[in-house]
Amino acid sequence: MTWSVTARGAHQPDNTAFTQQRLPAWQPLLSASIALPLFFCAGLAFIGLGLGLYYTSNGIKELEYDYTGNSGTSNCSVSCQCAWYFSLPELFQGPVFLYYELSNFYQNYRRYVVSRDDAQLSGLQSALRQPINECAPYQYSAGGLPIAPCGAIANSLFNDSFSLWHQRSAGGPYVEVPLDRTGIAWWSDYHVKFRNPPLVNGSLALAFQGTAPPPNWPRPVYELSSDPNNTGFINQDFVVWMRTAALPTFRKLYARIRQGNYTAGLPRGAYRVNITYNYPVTAFGGHKRIIFSSISWMGGKNPFLGIAYLVVGSLCILTGFVMLVVYIRYQDQNDDDDDEE
Amino acid sequence: KHYCGNRVKTSKYTVLSFLPKNIFEQLHRFANLYFLALVALNFVPVVNAFQPEVSTIPIGTILAVTAIKDAWEDFRRFKSDKVINNQECFIYSRKEQSYVQKRWKDVCVGDFIQMRCNEIIPADILLLFSSDPSGICHLETANLDGETNLKQRRVVKGFSQRVTQEALLEPEHFHNTIVCEKPNNNLNKFKGYMEHPDKTRTGFGSESLLLRGCTIRNTEMAVGIVIYAGHCPCVIIKNRADSYKKRKGQRQIGTDFLISLKILVILTLFSGHSLWNRTFEEHPPFDVPDANGNFLPLTLGGFYMFLTMIILLQVLIPISLYVSIELVKLGQVFFLHNDLDLYDEETDVPIQCRALNVTEDLGQIQYIFSDKTGTLTENKMVFRRCTIMGSEFSHQENAKRLETPKELDSDSEEWTHYQCLSFPSRWAQGPTTVRGQGGAQPLRRSQSAQVPIQGHSRQRSMGRCENSQPPVAFSSPIEKDVTPDKSLLTKVRDAALWLETLSDTRPAKPSLSTASSIADFFLALTICNSVMVSTTTEPRQRVRIGDGRDGQVKPVIMAHNNITHTSLCFCDGCTCLGNVTISSSTKALGMSLEKIQQLFQRLKLLSLSQSFSSTAPSDTDLGESLGTNVPTTDSDERDDSSVCKGPALGLTSPELCYEAESPDEAALVHAAHAYSFTLVSRTPEQVTVRLPQGICLTFDLLCTLGFDSVRKRMSVVVRHPLTGEIIVYTKGADSVIMDLLEDPARVTDSNVEKKLRKIQARTQKHLDLYARDGLRTLCIAKKVVSEEYFQRWASFRHEAEAALDNRDELLMETAQHLENQLTLLGATGIEDRLQDGVPDTIAALQEAGIQIWVLTGDKQETAINIAYSCRLLDQTDTVYTINTENQETCDSILNCVLEEVKQFHGPRKPDRKLFGFCLPSEMPSTASVDVVPKVGLVIDGKTLNVIFQGKLEKKFLELTQYCRSVLCCRSTPLQKSMIVKLVRDKLRVMTLSIGDGANDVSMIQAADIGIGISGQEGMQAVMSSDFAISRFRHLKKLLLVHGHWCYSRLARMVVYFFYKNVCYVNLLFWYQFFCGFSGSTMIDYWQTIFFNLFFTSVPPLVFGVLDKDISAETLLALPELYKRGQNSECYNLSTFWISMVDAFYQSLVCFFIPYLTYRDSDIDVFTFGTPINTIALATILLHQAIEMKTWTIIHVLVLVTSFLMYFVISLVYNATCVTCNSPTNPYWVMEGQLSDLTFYLVCFLTPVVALLPR
């Protein structure tokens, strides 16, 4: 159409690239010459990454022990003290983390997940006295007192405890390995989300006066630990437990081993883990495990990611080859360029 | 009885009622109701999946966005209402005994309203008084139907005489009772009667009704009584009727909704919560009892869980889909509107999109129903040929001239040259002419003054700036200029001479001589129409006539007195002095006062001496008496070469401007004008015609039987001023007129009989010839009736007009009584030129697999010829024509043709001698056998009737499916819409109707998409259409490019929306396997909501508005690509399922790669959810990126912004929200993840895996 700028009508649309839909556009046409190298490069990169990941993951050591105790394979049973003996033939490269693992425990169950009061846990006075309704039936005790901390999550706090003993030489005495129980929770949880209510006369116990502990707890929340920085709502075991796990089989960090002679890891020798067995798991058919694990830059031991990268990388290369073959044959038939997508 | 006031309220809501009413209306939409039910469900504590407050956000947002949109629209309506309601008008007030200025909203039924020139009429008003002496009020109905020609409305009959002006100005004296029917939605249907105090009744009809919204023109003042006010006026009622068309695309979306719903239910049932729960003997610590410590029974718990899951997985159904679709369509319409290729520079009109919700249907059209006149053709009528008394005048010079303007069109310089020639002479006198009256009078129809100039200057070079309004209809130079046929011209002169002799001798008996017939023929052309004459100098001050001879002279003298200061005061209604030609020329020549006085003396003498009410000296006389060389009779000029016709015409008669209701009439009047039979003025009582010699004849108009589509003719009854005979001139479609002709057998004189037969036969032959050339034919006939007969008839007619019941039928009957026994005068052939680019467009559309039907009211031959010329039919096509009125024959024909078509191989000549007529289909005998000619079908209205009545639709449709194109001739508007409905419903196809006139309205409304052509025949088609274009050729780009784009964009966007939601919801679903089917989510609620509302909502919109899968050039070059849309290839069940499967796969990947990565670690719920959410976002956006065929900077920007926005919002949200979102507690989760390398690794790997198959 011909039209002149001088004689434009009042209703004539603007002739801009936008309104005329003539914006410079790039059509992603993948021709074989681009697609094939792309596939090969990506494949190689993926394989390289995968190999690195795989070896890193393989370098991580893990030692685990199921102490559930109902199958007869272990010496543990309900509510008792029991022990697990193991020996390390060589140095267990540190830093070593001690986890406990529960399986078949659906911490992500909807009604379980919501059964907590974050306001109460952040030290809010009003919430301490009046927990939110989501906590029910662990909202108020039978005596009518508000439960602190309220809710099902807190009520089901994992209460097994472990201690690690090291026998340097055969027949020698067992020396307790110091377990660092601090710093196992997220920094943000410990410092921001979880706060004790303001002390009354310098006493945490008084601050919690007028509240009841969760029904399953043998002692109130302010007696969780003797360390004033690790008791009440900011007890790190408690904080870790309150961060509900994503999957029914989950680990939670119990302690880090990094003090004294054990900064480099666990030296070789015999070890004993003393377990105070309290937590019932038979009700849901669960298992309890204790795990020693070292970590790397990519976290715990998990070969999957490396394998996945390897598989995807090889798939890329494979399809690249297939396409190359197709491309060559296609080109033979008719000398035409075609997009491969 | 209570009548509503005149306040108009089109806004739907008030401030108070907005919220409840709007929400109520929105809830009519099924999806909204569904989501609201879910939200309500969420408030039940036992089943809630989200926090109840949070779950209201999506639906709230959707409702709010829609409400804001509605409120904005309503506010605009409110504002325009306010403007309208506060317009001012003069209402008679009893208190003050005079007309006082009030606002429109104060007008009540029964009020007397005084209206001045150029005022807009505030309500439907019955006209009681007009300052015009003949009781006429002129209206411009441009606001109503876009027609710019003036319409006449007359004062209620019998009222004008009875009540004098004084009485009306004092409405206190008005004691009549007005009874009229309830308001209806037909603008032209109105009847009622007025009961006078003495119990006599006068009927009135729509010709006395001033419709709201029209503008008073050329009338000093009018007074009327309000009949309908407020929401009752016909206009408003008509506009209210708005039909909603259910769209195919929406149906598809509806089914997809249901499928999604089924998937949802299946998914939900899958989560057999109760089954899982049964595996435990006792309650595990994580199974939290209810507030009273009781555990629910398993079945009830299972049911609750089922409901919870429904709430959780509700996102599967895209809540924002409807809003998004609306927004996308808005964007598409914006681009449609802005397309330069759909813009017509001549009329300065871009495409108008009146319906916002049909853009995607443009891409799926399978059938096009087109009107012929004005759609395929220009509807600019050009007089081409005529036949008078059996002799044909081919007008070859005219045909030649018609070629030349085309060349001149391209060469605008030449035109501006002409314009310069004609221009100064006009404007030199212009100011003087205008000055005298211009100061005092309001400006009236100023544009009509400019039209002649515009016609020559090609409109663009000038006139634009000062005149934004379109020029008056039907006045292009091509139509106006008719070069007379030389042989005819001489005969016309003879005829004119004969007319002159007539004035002296008054022969009593009608003569059959050629001369008289020619004169009659042209008189009929001039008189038998409803063309209005508007002169450049206005207002038309009509001089009262009928007061006796003195009365006639007086005003002339008055004019003479005025002449010194007002140039000339024209009284064109009475004498030919009113012709401006003389005035301008005399003025320009510096005529002295004495000479004018002399002139008037002469005039006086003449008028006294002649016994006719109005005859005046001719131009030539005047010119001679003044001793000047005024351009004398037009015919002299016209003998010159054809090229200089433009300026010549401009000089001779620039003042007469014809405003016709149909272009045919204008063409005929212009044609007559070329033979110097000039229509000078027209009032309801009189028509003045200037003859070639310059004599003005004034015919008393006794009756006008207007044109209607049933009778297909119109007639005027006039009293011949010279002979005093009462003559009926009839003009109409040839088929009708030929039947009404006087039976030659009844004529006693055998000689005459023979002659009549001969004339009829030859005229018929010529008519066939014209039709074959694609000309529109009209027959002209006349009849002389005796005085007594007419009086008798007139009384019948009067009764019929006054009747309140079945008035229409009575009128029709009376018309039929008069219109018979006609004597054929001749016939005309008018060419309707094809629009530019029509053949190309039709060829392209046919290539695109669209069947094109032409539904026209025209003659069969004309239609077929147009079809050939616009390549709808090919010369090699076999054309079957079915014309029958018998049901059985029709059935058998259909069977025959069907069989023939089915075994259609090799050249075959359709041989249908028995029924209907057979068109010679030119089969090249040399054509090889493998060239299978395509089939065309021609059918006429009568046959269609038979088909519809005889239940032959199925066979008919079966046959048409073999046809390349179908032509339906002689079809009525009703038939047109019936055909469209038939095809649409029975074949279940997308149909499109295109038309330009009022007769296409029903067809336009019946089709899925109606397209109106904003052309010559007013705006009615445009008003009822979904899109309005100005040229037929625009249809090509509209369908092939925009239709394809709109369809593919929208379809792919909808599929993408479903994909997106299914993909996302499945993530949640997979998680249920790991959380005991408890309905918990690993993704924060807010993130979930934001995900749909913000992060992934804009890219699909941009995609839906901007993406181009194929470039416009390719689409235009390869119309076959359009077939993809017809077959719904972009959006059908299979594509839907493919995308569903894709979504399942991708969600599997997106969930299980993070799952396997984080298995056996101390990951917590929301830390686990964050990478999944991120991965899902990346995958969905990348999927979109792959779907997009073209990338522009906007796409990239939007995609990147969405992705970045996710991170920014998540980071901010996670950093600030410590305890706000209670159970999830997302504090620092995102930050923690961003510092973890694994997160990046996972996020990098997963989308690659998810999208690798693509």
Confidence (pLDDT) at A38: 83
Q: Does B469 touch chain A (CB under 8 A)?
A: no
What b/e readout covers B521-542, taking b as 16+ CB neighbours within 10 angstroms?
A: bbbbbbbbbbbbbbbbbbbbbb
Burial of B905 (0-12, 13-18, 19+ CB in 10 A): exposed
Q: Do the Cβ atoms of B568 and B588 come closer than 8 Å?
A: no
Tell if the CB–CB gap between A1 and B1249 is shorter than 8 Å: no
Name the residue in chain A with its Cα closest to that of B312: A110
Sign of CA dihedral A124, A129, A132, A134: positive
Is the peptide bond between A137 and the residue preceding it cis, with omega within 30 degrees of 0? yes
Q: Do the Cβ atoms of B180 and B227 come closer than 8 Å?
A: yes
Confidence (pLDDT) at A10: 59
Same domain, B132 and B210: yes
Same domain, B807 and B685: yes
Confidence (pLDDT) at B923: 36
Q: Do the Cβ atoms of B1061 and B31 come closer than 8 Å?
A: no
- Contact residues on chain A for B468, CB-CB shorter than 8 A: 10
Q: Does B466 touch chain A (CB under 8 A)?
A: no
Q: Residues B790-803: what's their mean pLDDT?
A: 80
Q: Could you tell me the pLDDT band of residue B204, with boundaries at 50, 70 and 90? A: confident
**What residues contact B196, with CB distance under 8 A and at least 6 apart?**
B162, B175, B176, B202
Q: In the annotation, is B1164 catalytic? A: no
Distance (Å, whole) CA A293 – CA A283: 28
Q: Where are the beta strands (DSSP E) in B763-877?
A: 775-785, 823-834, 851-855
Tell if the CB–CB gap between A12 and B1078 is shorter than 8 Å: no
Q: How far is A300 from chain B (nearest CA, A)?
A: 7
The answer to whether residue B284 is domain-embedded is no
B positions 236-255 inside 8 Å of A (CB): none
Confidence (pLDDT) at A47: 92
Tell if the CB–CB gap between B1075 and A109 is shorter than 8 Å: yes
Distance (Å, whole) CA B246 – CA A26: 37
A positions 176-215 inside 8 Å of B (CB): 186, 188-189, 192-193
A245: nearest CB among B288, B1164, B1231: B1164
* pLDDT > 70 in chain B, percent: 66
Distance (Å, whole) CA B298 – CA A192: 40
CA nearest B734: which of B751, B713, B759, B716? B713
Say whether pLDDT at B1126 is over 60: yes
Same domain, B775 and B898: no
Is the peptide bond between A149 and the residue preceding it cis, with omega within 30 degrees of 0? yes
Confidence (pLDDT) at B234: 53
Q: Residues B1141-1153: what's their mean pLDDT?
A: 89
φ, ψ at B279 (rounded to 5°): -70, -15
Which CA distances in Å does A112 have to A281, B46, B624, B1226? 16, 13, 114, 17
Distance (Å, whole) CA B1226 – CA B1224: 6
Residue B520 CA, chain-centre distance (Å), reads: 38
Q: How far is B303 from chain A (nearest CA, A)?
A: 15
pTM (2 d.p.):
0.71
Residue B1226 is encoded by which pair of tokens? Answer: 């997302």
Q: How far is A32 from chain B (nearest CA, A)?
A: 15
Tokens 């197709």, residue located? A326
Say whether pLDDT at B792 is over 70: yes
Of B145, B371, B572, B1008, the active-site residue reads B371
Q: Does A17 touch chain B (CB under 8 A)?
A: no
Q: Do the Cβ atoms of A222 and A205 come closer than 8 Å?
A: yes
Confidence (pLDDT) at A100: 92
Tell if the CB–CB gap between A152 and B286 is shorter than 8 Å: yes
B1157: nearest CB among A245, A283, A304: A304
- Contact residues on chain B for A249, CB-CB shorter than 8 A: 1159-1160
A305: nearest CB among B281, B461, B1157: B1157
CA nearest A271: which of A287, A290, A252? A290
Say whether pLDDT at B970 is over 80: no
Q: How far is A117 from chain B (nearest CA, A)?
A: 7
Q: B1193 is in which domain, residue-wise?
A: 320-331+1042-1252
Say whether pLDDT at B588 is over 50: no
More confident residue, B1153 or B119: B1153
B positions 1072-1101 inside 8 Å of A (CB): 1074-1076, 1078-1080, 1082
Q: Where are the beta strands (DSSP E) in chain A?
A: 62-66, 80-88, 92-93, 96-102, 161-167, 174-177, 250-257, 265-266, 269-277, 288-294
Same domain, B814 and B848: no
Q: Does B410 touch chain A (CB under 8 A)?
A: no
Same domain, B747 and B844: no
Distance (Å, whole) CA B1153 – CA B315: 23
Q: Which of A106-110, A210-214, B916-920 has the lowest mean pLDDT?
A: B916-920
pLDDT digits (tens, 9 = 90+) for B458-500: 333 333 333 333 333 334 444 455 666 777 777 777 776 766 6
A positions 318-337 inside 8 Å of B (CB): 319
Same domain, B958 and B900: yes
Q: Do the Cβ atoms of B599 and B560 come closer than 8 Å?
A: no
B positions 1018-1077 inside 8 Å of A (CB): 1074-1076
Same domain, B875 and B942: yes
Strand B678-682 relative to strand B686-690: parallel, antiparallel, unpaired? antiparallel
pLDDT digits (tens, 9 = 90+) for B399-458: 666 555 444 333 333 333 333 333 333 333 333 333 333 333 333 333 333 333 333 333
pLDDT digits (tens, 9 = 90+) for A81-117: 888 888 888 888 878 889 999 988 888 888 888 888 8
CATH code assigned at B119: 2.70.150.10
Q: How far is A285 from chain B (nearest CA, A)?
A: 8
B positions 1206-1225 inside 8 Å of A (CB): 1218-1219, 1222-1223, 1225
**What residues contact B1180, with CB distance under 8 A and at least 6 apart?**
B1060, B1063, B1064, B1096
CB pairs under 8 A between A and B: 247
Distance (Å, whole) CA B750 – CA B756: 10
- Find which of A176-185, B408-417, B696-705 is predicted with most confidence, using mean pLDDT: A176-185
Distance (Å, whole) CA A271 – CA A164: 7
pLDDT digits (tens, 9 = 90+) for B1101-1112: 888 888 877 788
pLDDT digits (tens, 9 = 90+) for B495-541: 767 666 665 544 444 444 667 777 788 888 888 777 777 654 443 33
Distance (Å, whole) CA B114 – CA B79: 26
Distance (Å, whole) CA A166 – CA A150: 39
Confidence (pLDDT) at A11: 62
Q: Is B493 annotated as a binding residue?
A: no
The answer to whether residue B927 is domain-embedded is no
Q: Which residue among B32, B59, B86 closes a domain?
A: B86
Q: Is B387 annotated as a binding residue?
A: no
Neighbours of B46 (CB within 10 A): 14
3-state secondary structure B552-601: HHHHHHHHHHHHHHHCCCCCCCCCHHHCHHHHHHHHHCCCCHHHHHHHHH
Confidence (pLDDT) at A48: 92
Residue B364 is encoded by which pair of tokens? Answer: 């799926």
Residue A179 is encoded by which pair of tokens? Answer: 């377990």
Q: Does B1242 touch chain A (CB under 8 A)?
A: yes
Q: Which residue among B994, B1029, B1064 closes a domain?
A: B1029
CA nearest B468: which of B765, B758, B144, B142? B142
Confidence (pLDDT) at B505: 47
Q: Does B278 touch chain A (CB under 8 A)?
A: no
- Give the start-to-end residue ranges of the domains of chain A: 58-304
More confident residue, B705 or B165: B705
Tokens 């990941």, residue located? A53
Q: Could you tell me the pLDDT band of residue A230, with boundaries at 50, 70 and 90? A: confident
pLDDT digits (tens, 9 = 90+) for B799-825: 877 776 677 778 788 888 787 788 888
Q: Which of A18-22, A124-128, B676-680, B689-693 has the lowest mean pLDDT?
A: A18-22
Which CA distances in Å does B585 have to B423, B539, B601, B629? 15, 20, 20, 9
**What residues contact B597, with CB distance under 8 A and at least 6 apart?**
B560
Say whether pLDDT at B293 is over 80: no
φ, ψ at B637 (rounded to 5°): -60, -40
Q: Do the Cβ atoms of B658 and B474 come closer than 8 Å?
A: yes
The answer to whether residue B309 is domain-embedded is no
Tell if the CB–CB gap between B1078 and A109 is shorter than 8 Å: yes
The answer to whether residue B543 is domain-embedded is no
pLDDT digits (tens, 9 = 90+) for B1181-1217: 888 888 887 778 888 888 898 889 888 888 888 887 7
Tell if the CB–CB gap between B1074 and A248 is shorter than 8 Å: yes
Q: Does B339 touch chain A (CB under 8 A)?
A: yes
The answer to whether residue B550 is domain-embedded is no
Confidence (pLDDT) at B945: 80
| pLDDT averaged over every residue in chain A | 82
Q: Is B1008 annotated as a binding residue?
A: no
Distance (Å, whole) CA B789 – CA B191: 28
Q: Residues B271-283: what's their mean pLDDT?
A: 58
Q: Is B174 annotated as a binding residue?
A: no
B1108: nearest CB among A21, A192, A308: A21
Q: How far is A204 from chain B (nearest CA, A)?
A: 22
Direct distance between the N- and C-terminal alpha carbons of chain A, in angstroms, rounded to an integer:
37
Tokens 């008069």, residue located? B818
Strand A288-294 relative to strand B112-116: parallel, antiparallel, unpaired? unpaired
Tell if the CB–CB gap between A298 and B1237 is shorter than 8 Å: yes
The answer to whether residue B957 is domain-embedded is yes
Residue B197 is encoded by which pair of tokens? Answer: 């105090």
Q: Does A113 touch chain B (CB under 8 A)?
A: yes
The answer to whether residue B917 is domain-embedded is no
Distance (Å, whole) CA B1246 – CA B1172: 9
What single-letter DSSP state applies at residue B125? E
φ, ψ at A253 (rounded to 5°): -75, 130
Confidence (pLDDT) at B531: 74
- The complex's ipTM works out to 0.89
Q: E strand or H helix at A47, and its extent?
A: helix A32-59
CA nearest A175: which of A165, A160, A163, A190? A165
Residue B539 is encoded by which pair of tokens? Answer: 């207002």
Same domain, B80 and B94: no
Q: Could you tell me the pLDDT band of residue B157, with boundaries at 50, 70 and 90? A: low
Q: Which residue among B53, B86, B119 closes a domain?
A: B86
Q: How far is A163 from chain B (nearest CA, A)?
A: 20
Same domain, B730 and B658: yes
Half-sphere exposure of A127 (CA within 13 A, CB side): 22
Confidence (pLDDT) at A31: 67
- Find which of A7-16, B98-107, B648-657, B1052-1061 is predicted with most confidence, using mean pLDDT: B1052-1061
Tokens 């690509």, residue located? B1121
Q: Is B494 annotated as a binding residue?
A: no
Q: Which residue type is seen at B672?
A: A
Q: Residues B1247-1254: what's their mean pLDDT?
A: 75
SS3 B968: strand
pLDDT digits (tens, 9 = 90+) for B972-1025: 777 888 888 888 888 878 888 888 776 777 788 788 888 888 765 556 677 777
